[in-house]
Structure 1
Amino acid sequence: MSSVRVDGQGGSAQDLTYRWLKRHIATLPRDGGTFLTESEVAQQAGTSRTPVREALLRLEAEGFLQIVPKKGAFVPPVSDAEVRAVMQARELIEDWCVRRVVPVAEEFLAELGRLVAEQESLLDDPVAFIDCDRAFHRAIVRRAGNPVLADFYETLRERQVRMGLRAVANEENRARTVLAEHAAIVAALREQDPARAGEALAVHLSSTLAALHLPEVAGWTGGQSVAGLS
């Protein structure tokens, strides 16, 4: 386990431990489950066991791990097949939604622009960056006005946070690539061009898959072969 400590940083012990753990989980191998114990995390993070316990409960509620009595916290594996399935489902929902929001109101364009600017300010904080990334995509899905799709999409994004955090934390310049791809989506929406917005989204999601180090499956983006994802 990494020895990055939370001592001396701003925020409560629970929040700092939560962020440390979330980032650590993102670095774990995806193809095998891992057990974490309170004492191990407390020692490595340089904190007491109480904030560790609270952080583990918070991460369990978010779907990152499962607390097993008398054993610790189990971080389940994420298979390549699951990654592809989640990304395929995301593409189907987000493509429909990003086209559906056109014509786009100025106030919504302003909201997306604010989220991109906020992400840019979080380049050195992968956890907060991915939280903001999630807000960007969620805003588009919710704007499309289908609550059933929006609710289903939330379950997909919970499963993908670990994947996206790993890509941003471990790959140099990935965060800046995400920013550029988000800006391209906003630019297409500003031009009121649904086809171009769909294409920009496809490039972004394809780039994400590549960042997760998985080979692209031919035709997975609605028959298009696009290299790269975020």
Structure 2
Amino acid sequence: MLSMTRQRAQPSAQDRAYGWLKEYVAALPGTQGRFLTEAEVCAETGLSRTPVREALLRLEAEQFIEIMPNKGAYIPPITERQVAHLMDARALVEDWCVRRSVELSQHIVPRLQNIIAEQKGLKDRPVDFINCDREFHRTIVAAAGNEVIANIYESLRDRQLRTGLTALAASAERTALVLTEHQTIVDAIATGKADVAARAVEKHLASTLGVLHRLNTAKSTPMLTGRTFT
């Protein structure tokens, strides 16, 4: 019975292919588009074509890729609409959560300081740096104590990773600025004033969006066209 339980707990071949693909897409810079074939995924994962094909269809349904006959799966650059929707969602969730988390500041401030210290050692590892960045914000969201909102925030993970990597690649100073902005958020939470903490988060998210907007202006890519930011 125990062995059967363990066997059921193992991810299926489709789930393994899906997990690998999600990580691959998330780590691809947001301004970069490319094709990915079933054969490439099979070679990387050691899986057969059937679970890989099923995983690709799942990703297409989630609008992460576009399957094109005789060409493969196209991973498009992040569009202006996607960035705008992501940042709007983050602003709504993180504003509410940081206000709630202020009540527990004595518990989360040391944890947030530890994350900042960890981030400082990841300056030359962009993917790890952004994953750590996300853990910083996730800690604040979790401190608000609302599981439904926390689950919604979890669903944004892959999009956050991809836009975060794009922002880092766009600005040599972005890594240091993120660390400074995170410290400002922690200091604001420690004051015990919800409005001060919310403003610090708002400025941090606006800073990220500003970097992406400047990237669009400089390179004239299709990433962030069609919207005016103030």
TM-score (norm 2): 0.69
The one-letter code of the counterpart of 2:157 is R
Residue 178, structure 1, aligned to residue 171, structure 2: no
SS of structure 2 residue aligned to 1:92: helix
Q: Is the 8 A contact 2:189 2:197 kept in 1?
A: yes
What residue in structure 2 maps to residue 26 of structure 1?
A: 29
Q: Kindly report which structure 2 residues correspond to 1:49-64, keeping only aligned pairs within 5 A, or say none.
A: 49-50=43-44
List per-residue Cα deviations over 1:166-205 (Å, max 9, x = no partner).
1112321101111100000000111112111111111000
In 2, distance between residues paired with 1:101 and 1:21?
A: 33
What residue in structure 1 maps to residue 229 of structure 2?
A: 217
In 2, distance between residues paired with 1:24 and 1:89?
A: 21
Q: Which has the higher contact order (CA 8 A, sep 6+)?
A: 2
SS of structure 2 residue aligned to 1:74: strand
Q: Kindly report which structure 2 residues correspond to 1:110-149, keeping only aligned pairs within 5 A, or say none.
A: 110-149=110-149
Q: Identity across aligned pairs (percent)?
A: 40
List per-residue Cα deviations over 1:61-106 (Å, max 9, x = no partner).
9x79549596444213421022111101110110011011122343
Deviating more after overlay: 92-101 vs 103-112: 103-112
Bigger-Rg structure (1/2): 2
SS of structure 2 residue aligned to 1:103: helix
Q: Is the 8 A contact 1:209 1:216 kept in 2?
A: no
In 1, distance between residues paired with 2:113 and 2:102?
A: 16
Residue correspondences, number: 192
The one-letter code of the counterpart of 1:130 is I
Q: Is the 8 A contact 2:102 2:197 kept in 1?
A: no
Q: 1:27 Cα shift?
A: 5.6
Residue 205, structure 1, aligned to residue 205, structure 2: yes
In 2, distance between residues paired with 1:216 and 1:115?
A: 34
**Structure 2, gaps ≥5 residues long:** 1-19, 214-223
Deviating more after overlay: 163-172 vs 153-162: 153-162
What residue in structure 2 maps to residue 93 of structure 1?
A: 93
In 2, distance between residues paired with 1:124 and 1:81?
A: 30
Q: Is the 8 A contact 1:25 1:162 kept in 2?
A: yes
In 2, distance between residues paired with 1:171 and 1:23?
A: 19
In 1, distance between residues paired with 2:109 and 2:46?
A: 40
What residue in structure 2 maps to residue 4 of structure 1?
A: none
Q: 1:129 Cα shift?
A: 0.4
Report the CA distance shift for 1:112/1:53 in structure 2 as closer, same or farther (over 3 A): farther
**Structure 1, gaps ≥5 residues long:** 1-16, 43-47, 219-230
Q: 1:53 Cα shift?
A: 7.2
Report the CA distance shift for 1:66/1:27 in structure 2 as closer, same or farther (over 3 A): closer
The one-letter code of the counterpart of 1:150 is A
The one-letter code of the counterpart of 2:154 is E
Q: Kindly report which structure 2 residues correspond to 1:69-80, keeping only aligned pairs within 5 A, or say none.
A: 71-80=71-80
